[in-house]
Structure 1
Amino acid sequence: MKKALLFVSVLMLILDSYTVYSQSSGNPGSRRSVRANLTGKVSDAKTGEPLPSASIYFPDLRTGSTTNAEGVYNLKNIPAGTYLMEVSYLGYASVLETINLQGDVTKEFALNPSFVEENAVTVTGVSAATSVRRTPIPVSIIRKEDFLRGASTNLVDALSKAPGVAQVSTGPAISKPFIRGLGYNRVVVVNDGIRQEGQQWGDEHGIEVDEYNVSKAEILKGPASLMYGSDALAGVVNFISMVPVAEGTTRGNFFTNYQTNNRQRGLHADIAGNSKGFIWGAYGSYKAAADYRNKYDGYVFNSKFNEKNFGGYIGANKHWGFTHLYLTSFDQHVGLVEGDRDSATGKFLKLVEENGAEETQIASGNDFTSTDPFVPNQRVKHFKLVSENSFNLGADRVTATIGFQRNQRQEFGNVLDPGEKELYFDLRTINYNFQYHFGERNNWRTTVGVNGMQQSSRNKGEETLIPEYDLFDVGLFLFEQKRFNQLTISGGIRYDNRSLNSKAFNDGGVDKFNAFTKNFSNVSGSAGLSYEASKHVTLKFNLARGFRAPSIPELASNGAHEGTNRYEYGEQDLKSERSFQVDGGLDINSEHVSLSASIFYNNVRNFIYYRKLVARNGQDSILNDGSDQLMAFRFDQHNAALYGAELNLDIHPHPLDWLHIENSFSYVRGKLSQTQDGSDNLPFIPAPRLLNEIKVDLLKKGNLFKNLYIVAELDNTFSQNHAFTGYNTETTTPGYSLFNAGLGTQVVRKGKPLFNVYITANNITDVAYQNHLSRLKYVAVNNVTGRQGVFNMGRNVSFKLNVPLNFSRAN
């Protein structure tokens, strides 16, 4: 409490000083006009030809426009002030410019053709939209076109080729993001302005965001506790889904996807409109897949899933700011792969009910092609309602975001009663985020804010793994950014407090969970700089202190964690994890070469991990859970260190500007400060990875086919020989190389786009491999082949069709 009072006192002193300075410098904010109109033209810098359908967007205002056939755009009745705007067009380098809007403003833009995105806008980890080149922490941007060109089975899978990003997977439907070797509750996932609150600690389910509805993803690699509080120890993945369309337009989109390996089929449709600042939109998606296959396992029984999602938004963009209301519903049904096989044939077994008893049979035929999961399976439902608001106060701006989320995870494992919910977590969360953005003065940007959440979890299943609990988070922060010509300095300080109240539970006369109350508080912060040494070279350096409070499973688990083959015990004496990370980076963007390189060192105190328990006889501690025998694990903590590097090199030689030779490399090493059972390696550290890609971009201006691309890729994952082998937790994993290829184009008629086609083939040579972060690597042994676990997906070809629908034209 004393820390909180001290922090508030310092914060108030800074604000008082800032207010005095603003008044003494004659802050003109209150005398400025409250609305503005912006018009202009976007053209090709070399030919002068207009660029129709170019995008003009103000991220902080959540509004924008598109150009008409003559390349002219028009934005009316927008809030006056100073904002960062982004002008973009496919095949051209985006232009980012900070513009002061007062009254009627005319601004023309000339874009240069480029097959490499040299600049981009980010809103992740900062208080207001900022150029990626001006952020000291590495940020990767993945655009809609990147999602369309890849072949992914889930949303996190689509991100995993970004340098420094990996995934812990449990089959095609279930993936968790890992950033620089850290994941689960150490990565914050944000969707449309609200941090996603599901069961981040769990292995056997993914993130509850509709893959088909995401228009952009931003990945911040490094501690981001300054803006997001606890759990942002590793970084942030920000999915931006609902982007309002331009004024005076009504647009839609139809998308379909089919993948050959597991017969995955997907459908998506959306529509949105904007009339005089009143905005609205709606979408719906369906995805279903049968069991996937590879050449070692054949069809992997019960790796099937289906998913149904919908959502929409309404709101108003006016001269005073904006108010938006978002609603989303996510509903996924996933089979859980146990990997049990017949000892004589090596074929997968399924659970069946026979004469009122549980029996096993060999799975065959339609068992593999159905998209309805067998027992065991799970259903994950996530409902979210978010109110996002921004109000202009002269040159200043106030933003307020409030959200409600309900996450329900139900696990079904009783074949005698398939509707029985063995586990049922019902998690409800209220998020809040209030920020005051002072108008930019002398290139200073200042933001103060308070954000956090109130959360409650209840158990409604037949079994329990974690206790019921209530949680309340509150965080106060100050963020500053200052530009000195080519130099940008940014950073700030934050104080957080988390209060956790865990409930007691008595199971059949035995106290399974004891009641307890915990309070975790911490001060975090960051300071960094970005220096544009020249037009083509940017240098970055950042220091960040992050933290993470222990999660309820780490503190109080007591039960069988289905799908993991573990019986887990929590440890109530765990302390908060605290990290100190140093980042350095170099970006070079020239006409023929683009290079991005970064290194990092992350020291984590009180790193939490789970380890096997040892019985008194020195053997593994094994508990009987019904008919199952489960290894016993307990959470523990020691100091740890992670370090590594990422490199991306794109060569596009002149005059062969259509040719790209791109290479990216990721490396991370994680070590415990003390050896545990003969191993000092951290668990779940991804292996080094090298991606080699050759891409050809053709037909920028075609009469029938436009923006044709052809790509060939070699995905090399090296051996992971630094596994956490203590207590037989992990095993080493051999390396492998996958050959992938793809092509796509836009079909046009009389200059108007009709549809886009994307064809991608992954693992063309049908390599049998296991990723080190695949949890299916540790399911049952095939006694016929002697191979442990299940292998990853074999050859897979993806076909995508995307049809844009334009019902009106921008003014």
Structure 2
Amino acid sequence: MKVKLLLLLSIIILSSGYSLHAQNELRGSVHSKNDNKPLPGVSVYFPDLKTGAISGSDGGYVIKNITSGTYLVEASLIGYRSHAENIVVKGAVAYNFDMATSAYELDEVLVTGVSSATQSRKNPVSSATLSQTSLLQNAATNIIDAINILPGVSQITVGPAISKPVIRGLGYNRVLVINDGIRQEGQQWFDEFGIEADDNSVNRVEVLKGPASLSYGSDAIAGVINFLPPPSLPEGSVKANILANYQTNNGLYNNAISLAGNTKGFTWDLLYNNKMAHDYKNKYDGYVWNSAYGENDLKGIFGINKSWGFSRVIVSMFNLNLGIVEGARDSATGKFTAHYLAFNGEDSLVLADENKYKAYKFYPVIHQHVRHYKVVWDNSFRAGAGRIIARLGLQENFRQEANDITKGDIYNNYFFLRTVNYDLQYLLPEKNMWQISFGVNGMQQSSEDRGILYMIPEYNLFDAGVFGIAKKTFNKLTFSGGLRFDDRRFHGKDLFVDADGVRQTTPDANSIHRFTDYHSDFSGFSGSAGVTYDFSKSVYGKFNAARGFRAPSAPESGSNGIHDGTPFYEIGDPNLKAENSLQFDATLGVISDDFDGEINAFRNQINNYIFPVKLESVIGGDSIRDDNVAGFEGPTFKYIAGDAVLSGGEIMVSIHPHTMGWLNIENAFSTVRAIQRNQGDSTKYLPYTPPDKIQSTLKISFKNINNVFKNTYFTFGVDNYFKQDKIYYKFGNETITPGYTLINAGLGTDICSKRATLFSIYLYGYNLSDKAYQNSMSRLKYCDTDNTTGRIGVYNMGRNFSIKVNIPINLK
């Protein structure tokens, strides 16, 4: 009922926005700061209004039908520093941009966690961005793998298809993913549950490193990852694009085709993506059995941009099939084994069929089928002198896993999750350099277990958060902050099974009460207060204090059974309290013609930090529990809460002499220490903390070699991961990981004719030395031992070459 009322309220408010306003426009020209020549092909864009223009051959541009107000406008072009300015739009306004050439692309605009677009140096929260150019010039197996190159960001992996983001040592439900403007909800609490996002639909990634509960509520206690779609095309444009990618290691084919246009303010963008790969390989394991995957995705964006604002609908479908790597081996040969149904109906293991290692669309038991459907209605329009932002979303997630060959090709695990998202904000008109907004957002969820194995209860959830955000600028000094109150209601449902573990709709005296009905309600305040200061045009500083809030997840509060894929029996606690964090961030940055640098330091204290501990038997040894549904027993872990402290930071340095505009040298260092308070040595460190990392990249680029080759570049990079010996080793399920170094290189160019780009080609080589290594965050590190070599677990991907061809087609 609450959601229905919010939907009705939003529709009524939206209807009031469709009124006529005076015509406003922004026009001007873009020139090179180096030689004052006009720059064609520059994107001049309003991030808040999702409208813009491309400069013509004379460098001129014009953008019409703009809602009155103060907006951040960004001008960007490959090979030049982006230029962002706050511009007051009322009537006909003129503004000219001057852009400096640079091999280093500095992203100045941030839209995540703020009410309106802002310059990143004016936002006190530590952040990082990844542009479309960077996504194209690098190679990755999924979108989380792609952002792993950002300082302070890492990933927990289960093979090349499953990656979970980690920000400054925290992951799972402590990292919030925003996709198409709403929080992505896909039962993201388990290791083997990845993020349902098509990498080819992402135009730009923004990462907030630190609590962002003020804007997003629960689960943003570590930070936020925001996947942004391509911007709307300028009015009168129609374009198609074809992207083809092949990777040699696992034979990955990743192809996408899109069609977008803008006719008199009506915008559309259609995308289809197809991806398939066979098993990957490395120097020690050879091909890794059952690591193949295939993906099909569709996405459509339909909208209208007028003087009152914009309204658009986003419809998407994500469909992924993938094998799950077990890493089981034959004891005599060390080769991988596969499940085989013996003549007596028992599950047996035989040597994996070598002819199937390079097979496409082959998913033996164990495998998953993941589907995610989503509809988002995104609106921004003028309301009086201010602006209203209204978003409504519906997501349905189907996550199925077949893992018992004796039951045939059926899905033992089958989770279904339906989520309704809502977000309603009002932005007051900017006055005396004050920017103030307030609103309400949250979600309603219902989870069903449609399989035959039951680890967590079915549940209903509703939460709501009210918040206010303010920003004030005094010349060089900018204050930002706000306050939020969240309330979450969680209802875990009863489940009865018989002695064979079969669900019973009508329980009897012999029924087993698998899950007991319970209610857990959580509420709390969160907020932030920060300041930025421009010491000079080139030097700036930031400081931010933020309080985060996270309610326990369904497994943490309601688990009762064997965690599939492990031998562990997990027990939740419905009486757990919500996590609360207090994080302090400090940043010092330099931006100049020859040198850019930034130093970030943070300290994050989390109270009621939730984690599992192994229970001991009253007679000594492990507490062993039998799961009659799964059909076997295992050592018992229970979720409890304590206090944790994480600290560390990042250092980023970019050297790009203005007298050598073709040269850029980037260096980054990331470190985090994650400690549980009041614990012994064996449990002192939080499990799966990312190791220290140094990244160095040399980039040589040329804007114009001749009339054929443009935007040509070469990169050479070295990634050094330090030894990770700060581990949680009490139960033997985390071990020390040696350090290792990876060498990578890339090369690419635009092929042009008559100033038009015919196609672009991107070559990239990953792990050129074919180093055999195990990342400390890889769950495959703990698979079976190869008795022939003594090596434990499965290794990460070996040498991989990627080739991409991108073909833009201007139809109008």
Q: Same fold (TM over 0.5)?
A: yes
Q: Deviations over 1:592-617 (max 9, x none)?
A: 11101100001110111122233345
**TM-score in terms of structure 2 length:** 0.94
Q: 1:534 to 1:117 in 2, by over 3 A?
A: farther
Correspondence 1:690 to 2:678: no
Distance in structure 1 (CA, Å) of the matches to 2:687 and 2:193: 19
Return 406-415 or 557-566, whichever deviates more.
557-566
- Residue of structure 1 equivalent to 2:616: 614
1:668 to 653, 660, 672: 672
Q: 1:781 to 1:467 in 2, by over 3 A?
A: same
Q: 1:565 to 1:65 in 2, by over 3 A?
A: farther
**Residues 79 and 320, structure 1, Cα contact 8 Å, conserved in 2:** yes
What's the CA shift for 1:531? 0.6
- Residue of structure 1 equivalent to 2:321: 333
- Residue of structure 2 equivalent to 1:88: 76
Correspondence 1:132 to 2:132: no
- Residue of structure 2 equivalent to 1:281: 269
- Residue of structure 1 equivalent to 2:365: 375
What's the CA shift for 1:546? 0.5
1:274-353 equivalences under 5 Å are 274-353=262-341
Between the aligned residues of both structures, percent identity stands at: 45
Distance in structure 2 (CA, Å) of the matches to 1:131 and 1:380: 37
Distance in structure 2 (CA, Å) of the matches to 1:560 and 1:629: 8
Q: 1:558 to 1:303 in 2, by over 3 A?
A: same
- Residue of structure 2 equivalent to 1:386: 376
Q: Give the unaligned 5+ runs of structure 1.
A: 1-30
Distance in structure 1 (CA, Å) of the matches to 2:218 and 2:805: 40
- Residue of structure 2 equivalent to 1:20: none
1:247 to 235, 244, 255: 235
**TM-score in terms of structure 1 length:** 0.94
**Residues 34 and 320, structure 1, Cα contact 8 Å, conserved in 2:** no
Q: Deviations over 1:123-146 (max 9, x none)?
A: 111111111010001111100010
Q: What is the one-letter code of the residue matched to 1:465?
A: M
Q: Deviations over 1:62-102 (max 9, x none)?
A: 11111122222121222122111111111111111111112
Distance in structure 1 (CA, Å) of the matches to 2:405 and 2:205: 40
Distance in structure 1 (CA, Å) of the matches to 2:339 and 2:654: 51
- Residue of structure 2 equivalent to 1:267: 255
Return 417-426 or 159-168, whichever deviates more.
417-426
- Residue of structure 1 equivalent to 2:505: none
Distance in structure 2 (CA, Å) of the matches to 1:573 and 1:393: 44
Distance in structure 1 (CA, Å) of the matches to 2:779 and 2:150: 21
Distance in structure 2 (CA, Å) of the matches to 1:632 and 1:767: 37
Q: What is the one-letter code of the residue matched to 1:376?
A: I
What's the CA shift for 1:679? 2.6
Distance in structure 2 (CA, Å) of the matches to 1:277 and 1:418: 53
Q: Deviations over 1:91-128 (max 9, x none)?
A: 11111111111222222222111222344111111111
Q: 1:750 to 1:257 in 2, by over 3 A?
A: same
Distance in structure 2 (CA, Å) of the matches to 1:362 and 1:668: 41
Q: Deviations over 1:762-801 (max 9, x none)?
A: 1111111111110011122222222221111111111111
Return 338-347 or 723-732, whichever deviates more.
723-732
Q: Secondary structure of the equivalent of 1:678?
A: helix
What's the CA shift for 1:365? 2.3
CA RMSD between the two structures? 1.7
What's the CA shift for 1:58? 0.4
1:457 to 420, 438, 447: 447
Q: 1:619 to 1:594 in 2, by over 3 A?
A: same
What's the CA shift for 1:656? 2.3
Distance in structure 2 (CA, Å) of the matches to 1:720 and 1:211: 30
**Residues 103 and 700, structure 2, Cα contact 8 Å, conserved in 1:** no
What's the CA shift for 1:623? 4.9
Distance in structure 2 (CA, Å) of the matches to 1:48 and 1:601: 46
**Residues 733 and 782, structure 2, Cα contact 8 Å, conserved in 1:** no
- Residue of structure 2 equivalent to 1:106: 94
1:556 to 531, 555, 558: 558
Correspondence 1:115 to 2:119: no
What's the CA shift for 1:806? 1.0
**Residues 203 and 564, structure 1, Cα contact 8 Å, conserved in 2:** no
Q: What is the one-letter code of the residue matched to 2:137?
A: R
- Residue of structure 1 equivalent to 2:350: 361
Distance in structure 1 (CA, Å) of the matches to 2:156 and 2:624: 25
Q: Deviations over 1:278-299 (max 9, x none)?
A: 1111100011111111111111
Distance in structure 1 (CA, Å) of the matches to 2:620 and 2:245: 52
Q: What is the one-letter code of the residue matched to 2:358?
A: T
What's the CA shift for 1:804? 1.0
**Residues 606 and 644, structure 2, Cα contact 8 Å, conserved in 1:** yes
Return 133-142 or 43-52, whichever deviates more.
43-52
- Residue of structure 2 equivalent to 1:411: 401
2:715 to 703, 711, 716: 711
Correspondence 1:162 to 2:150: yes
Correspondence 1:179 to 2:167: yes
- Residue of structure 2 equivalent to 1:76: 64
Distance in structure 2 (CA, Å) of the matches to 1:179 and 1:279: 35
What's the CA shift for 1:569? 1.4
Q: Secondary structure of the equivalent of 1:227?
A: helix
What's the CA shift for 1:630? 4.1
Q: What is the one-letter code of the residue matched to 2:778?
A: S
Distance in structure 2 (CA, Å) of the matches to 1:406 and 1:180: 30
**Residues 376 and 392, structure 2, Cα contact 8 Å, conserved in 1:** yes
**Residues 677 and 727, structure 1, Cα contact 8 Å, conserved in 2:** no
Q: Secondary structure of the equivalent of 1:385?
A: strand
Distance in structure 1 (CA, Å) of the matches to 2:248 and 2:567: 31
What's the CA shift for 1:216? 0.3
Q: 1:564 to 1:531 in 2, by over 3 A?
A: farther
Distance in structure 2 (CA, Å) of the matches to 1:231 and 1:774: 23
Distance in structure 1 (CA, Å) of the matches to 2:635 and 2:669: 36
Distance in structure 2 (CA, Å) of the matches to 1:684 and 1:249: 48
**Residues 159 and 291, structure 2, Cα contact 8 Å, conserved in 1:** yes
What's the CA shift for 1:677? 7.3
- Residue of structure 2 equivalent to 1:23: none
Q: What is the one-letter code of the residue matched to 2:213?
A: S
Distance in structure 2 (CA, Å) of the matches to 1:495 and 1:699: 50
**Residues 119 and 133, structure 1, Cα contact 8 Å, conserved in 2:** no
1:643 to 622, 647, 655: 647
Distance in structure 2 (CA, Å) of the matches to 1:537 and 1:119: 16
**Residues 612 and 729, structure 1, Cα contact 8 Å, conserved in 2:** no
- Residue of structure 2 equivalent to 1:152: 140
Distance in structure 1 (CA, Å) of the matches to 2:168 and 2:258: 35
1:423-502 equivalences under 5 Å are 423-502=413-492
- Residue of structure 1 equivalent to 2:599: 597
Q: 1:788 to 1:613 in 2, by over 3 A?
A: farther
Q: Secondary structure of the equivalent of 2:65?
A: strand
Distance in structure 2 (CA, Å) of the matches to 1:294 and 1:611: 34
**Residues 120 and 141, structure 1, Cα contact 8 Å, conserved in 2:** no
- Residue of structure 1 equivalent to 2:732: 728
Distance in structure 2 (CA, Å) of the matches to 1:621 and 1:536: 60
Q: What is the one-letter code of the residue matched to 1:359?
A: S
What's the CA shift for 1:701? 5.2
Correspondence 1:773 to 2:773: no
Q: 1:495 to 1:709 in 2, by over 3 A?
A: same
Q: What is the one-letter code of the residue matched to 1:382?
A: H
- Residue of structure 1 equivalent to 2:683: 679
Correspondence 1:195 to 2:183: yes
Q: 1:622 to 1:333 in 2, by over 3 A?
A: farther
**Residues 773 and 796, structure 2, Cα contact 8 Å, conserved in 1:** yes
